[in-house]
Amino acid sequence: MIHDPELFTVADDEVVVTFRTDDDTAVTTRVGSHEVTTSGPYHYALISGLEPSTPYSLAVEGACNSELLPQEFTTLKRPSGKRLAMFTTVNDVHFGETECGRLGDGEQMGPIFGATNGDEPYPEIMNRAVIDDMAALAPDVVLVKGDLTDRGSEQEYEMFLDAYGVLGDAMHHVRGNHDAMITETIASDRAPFLVRLTGVVLAVLDTVRPGTDKGRIDSAQLLWLEEVARESTDPVLVFGHHHPWDPSDPVRNERYFGINPDDSEALCAVIKRSESIMGYFAGHTHRNQVRRFPTARNVPIVEVACVKDYPGAFAEYRIYEGGYTQLVRRASSPAALAWTEQTRQMFAGLYRDYALGSMADRCFAHGF
């Protein structure tokens, strides 16, 4: 029997379908005239060799089509010009965490998941899988967008550095709120900073307000960002741990979970004035979502789901002369798929719909 089949990633030239079976059954996935056979119980079907902007039929042997497994889909449009660079991002890796599914103190929706019977800690399983998947893609840069640790201890930070250090000089990181709960020293002197690639500039901000899960961007960083954007001859992509508040929201919530309203409006104003800025990319929320604000020129305002549990995500960005594509991918190892298939059930079974997002939230193309 096929369980939870999902068309997870759609690129301009490939797609990924994931699902599980009750045993090691071999199952064939067909995309147009292309097909691949995978063996269970955890299936990661990668079908390549597709054409951009092309409709394809989709079928998984023994599975019914659904909203998450459509009968037909269309590959992404490929931005114009030659491909110039490729980089990946991850966020919310949470080294040191021992349980997931809790919403602070008090009554819980359940179920709660953690390592049992001496099993390897799940953050180590998930991060190793994602690091291996990213390394196989050979990105020019890997950017880790915060929540490197669970409690913000130096020991957990060392665990992060040991794991991601295998990526060498390609790896860059910035802190998240979890990293500044008991000390302000972890990765506190890194941002703002720039990473320059062929055809694009990555501008990384520190959005942390130490001691709280709320976010902010101080005026000095916004002035720095505007100067970077004004001087850059290449498109600029902006990154931070926290997501901005929507300036069109009629309720001005000063305790907003992301960047506070004043700083969010100031960020949007910088984007509006800066034609070179082509998107803002965050983590923090553990979900895939894309919003577009008229006050920020309707560029993508992106959140990418976490590494540590369902769906076990990282994002790939392909840079072309005429634009870029975002592809949210899922950790492919059997151990990672086994853990994420469990944790999709968190929060009374509501977590999958929250974290997964729509296909347009995970995979899109944006022109320069």
Mean per-residue pLDDT of the chain: 96
In the chain, the domains with their CATH numbers are: 2-74 (2.60.40.10), 83-367 (3.60.21.10)
Mean pLDDT of 21-40: 97
Q: For residue 126, which of 358, 336, 299 has the smallest C-alpha distance? A: 336
Mean pLDDT of 166-181: 97
Residues 42, 341 contacting (CB under 8 angstroms): yes
Res 337: pLDDT: 98
Res 210: pLDDT: 95
A 10 A CB-CB count for 299 gives: 19
Place 105 in a pLDDT band, splitting at 50, 70 and 90.
Answer: low
Q: What are the angstrom distances between the C-alpha of 162 and each of 47, 127, 156?
A: 33, 11, 10
A 10 A CB-CB count for 248 gives: 9
Res 300: pLDDT: 98
CA–CA distance, 180 with 82 (Å, rounded to integer): 41
CA–CA distance, 101 with 111 (Å, rounded to integer): 6
DSSP line for 150-207 = SS--HHHHHHHHHHHGGGGGGEEEE--GGGGSS-S-TTTTS-SEEEEETTEEEEE---
Residues 145, 239 contacting (CB under 8 angstroms): yes
Q: Render pLDDT for 56-96 as a digit per residue (tens, 0 to 9).
A: 999 999 999 999 999 999 999 999 999 999 999 999 999 99
Residue whose pair of structure tokens reads 């001859």 in the numeric block: 233
Place 106 in a pLDDT band, splitting at 50, 70 and 90.
Answer: low
Q: Render pLDDT for 264-291 as a digit per residue (tens, 0 to 9).
A: 999 999 999 999 999 999 999 999 999 9
Residue whose pair of structure tokens reads 């919403």 in the numeric block: 103
Res 102: pLDDT: 84
CA–CA distance, 30 with 27 (Å, rounded to integer): 10
Q: Render pLDDT for 287-301 as a digit per residue (tens, 0 to 9).
A: 999 999 999 999 999
Residues with Cβ within 8 Å of 346's Cβ and at least 6 positions away in sequence, in order, are: 100, 101, 109, 111, 113, 309, 310
CA–CA distance, 75 with 55 (Å, rounded to integer): 7
Res 224: pLDDT: 98
Res 271: pLDDT: 98
Residues with Cβ within 8 Å of 264's Cβ and at least 6 positions away in sequence, in order, are: 244, 245, 246, 247, 256, 258
